Structure 1
Amino acid sequence: MNNLDGLPEFKGPGTLANTVCDYLENAILDGRLEAGTRLVERDLAEKFNVSRPPIREAIRQLNNEGLVKIVPRKGAVVARISAKDVEEIYSIKILIEGFAAREAAKKLSEADLRKLKSLIEKMAIQIERAGVSRYVKLAEEFHDLINKAAGNDKLYEIYKRLSKQIICHRINYLSLPGGLRCSLGGHKKIFEALLQRAPDRVESCLTEHIRYAQQVLTMRIKRSEEGNGSANQT
């Protein structure tokens, strides 16, 4: 856990457990805590200068969100994602985000559309700067705005939970040659369909965008799994 720079700011109305949970969640999502990293209560309590119960509760919350797994005889570790996980997550994303996009096409305000356009422009700038991490955050804002505009709170909760489980892996596959430009092209198609207030086209463009991401991420994970399998046999 040497990648955990600084300390959480324990202030405001939130509990210690929530503060620790938010800090660890951000560290997982931005890649500072990589998949497979052990989260040891004693070490975290010493690092953050808090007792162990808030650490234990924070880990429990992260486990409920799917970001951490409790492994027998090993304890809590940052969750890995398998090809099967990707298939299941993206299958659900296609269903809920397709519906959300159709609703958003009818409900987005002019201010929302201007915000989406601004996000695409900022994403294009990050491509020139090779700013993959920043690009991913902007892309998340883009999709977040669309899903929130659908006006379905339960759908939005599911969307956020699923997004958290894959966001750190998106940095991995978007780092491939041409990955960012291909992604930007998909976002532009979605935006153009939203501008036209065309629900069918929006859903089609978004589904195509999500399926492509699923295929690339699945390929990367399978190669990694095959590599680990070969290494274990030697």
Structure 2
Amino acid sequence: MIQRGASALYQQDSSAMMQKPLSELIADRLKQKIWNEEIQLGKRLLETELAETFDVSRSTIREALKILESEELINSQARKGTYVKAFTQQDVDEIIELRTLIEERAFIQAARYLGENDIKKLEAIVEQMKTKADEQDWHGLFDLDMLFHNYVVRMCRNSRIIKIYDSLQVQIRTFLMHLDRYYSSHQSFYDEHKLLLQALVSKDAHTVKRRVRNHIAYVETKLLGQKNNVELEEV
């Protein structure tokens, strides 16, 4: 049976989780299994098998799969079945481009509005990242990365930017699955977020822009083997 306390993209309030329909909880659990590589990209998903695993009806599984399909995490084809989508090079290119466009602007705007309480919350997230880095836990680091970036974007006070970013959450988290092999260590991933937090605390637009671009450009350079005109910093 599905664990109702399981989190999806990031940690959530348990009472909010209990209010979710069962199909959404199952969709969340399937996402976690995909991100943790318990379910491989490209794998076929069988309704009967999933219904037995979660001890629910096939109609509930069908609803859960519809959620994943709307988030573009799976692909259903008539007479062919339902499969976890594999990430293409175009997917990678587009997500990197969108993250640069959205996060650069959102972080600059958010820096203006961050108060002491917000900074403390971000510091707590980064501190948790330090723990996960020490434990060499990539999946935990990636979940906290989503929590950190999502918190900052939500502080930008632009409802349309937030809405667009929300629609990309599942795609971004799936993209992060590929990054563990490109970072030299768990520590370097944690260090990048320390630099991002320092930039936000400084509230200097130029510094924030540079740190965000360096963070995303590092990923682009390592993942795609591309050179760009951003001077990367050592972390």
**1:64 to 2:70 alignment:** yes
Task: Give the counterpart of 1:206 among 209, 212, 226.
Answer: 212
Q: Any conservation in 2 of the 1:29–1:164 contact (CA below 8 Å)?
A: no
Deviations 1:56-99 (A, max 9, x none): 22111111101111245431111111111110111111111111
Q: Letter of the 1:162 partner, please give it.
A: L
Question: For 1:153-168, what aligned pairs fall within 5 Å after superposition?
Answer: 153-168=159-174
Matched, 1:79 2:85: yes
Q: Deviations over 1:209-228 (max 9, x none)?
A: 11222333345xxxxxxxxx
Higher helix share: 1
CA 1:66–1:214 in structure 2 vs 1: closer, same or farther (change >3 Å)?
Answer: farther
Gaps of 5+ in 2: 6-16, 226-235
Q: Which residue of 2 aligns with 1:18?
A: 24
- Between the two proteins, what is the percent identity of the paired residues? 29
Letter in 1 for 2:82: A
Deviations 1:87-136 (A, max 9, x none): 01111111111111011110111111122223223323332321222222
> Do residues 173 (structure 1) and 168 (structure 2) align?
no
Give the SS at the match of 2:82. Answer: strand
Q: In the alignment, what sits opposite 1:127?
A: 133
- Give 1:135-154 correspondences, 5 Å limit: 135-154=141-160
Retained in 2: the 8 A contact 1:35–1:78? yes
Change (3 A) 1:165 1:218: farther
Whether 2:102 is the aligned partner of 1:96: answer yes
Paired positions, count: 214
In the alignment, structure 1 segments of 5+ residues that lack a partner are 1-5, 220-234
Rounded Cα–Cα distance in structure 1 between residues aligned with 2:22 and 2:128? 35
Amino acid at match of 2:80: K
Does the CA-based 8 Å contact 1:127-1:180 persist in structure 2?
yes
| Paired residues of 1:173 and 1:217 also in contact (CA < 8 A) | yes
**SS of the counterpart of 1:35?**
coil
Contact 1:8/1:48 (<8 A) preserved: no
Equivalent residue, structure 1, for 2:231: none
Letter in 1 for 2:132: Q
Query: In 1, Cα distance between the equivalents of 2:120 and 2:18?
Result: 33
State whether residues 75 and 84 of structure 2, in contact with CA within 8 Å, keep that contact through their aligned partners in structure 1: yes
- Mapped pair 1:190 → 2:196: yes
The two structures have a TM-score, normalised by structure 1, of 0.80
| 1:7 partnered with 2:13 | no
Equivalent residue, structure 1, for 2:14? none
- Relative distance call for 1:51 and 1:184 in structure 2 (3 A) is closer
Q: Is the 8 A contact 1:45 1:52 kept in 2?
A: yes
| Residue matched to 1:222 | none
2:122 is the counterpart of 1:116: yes
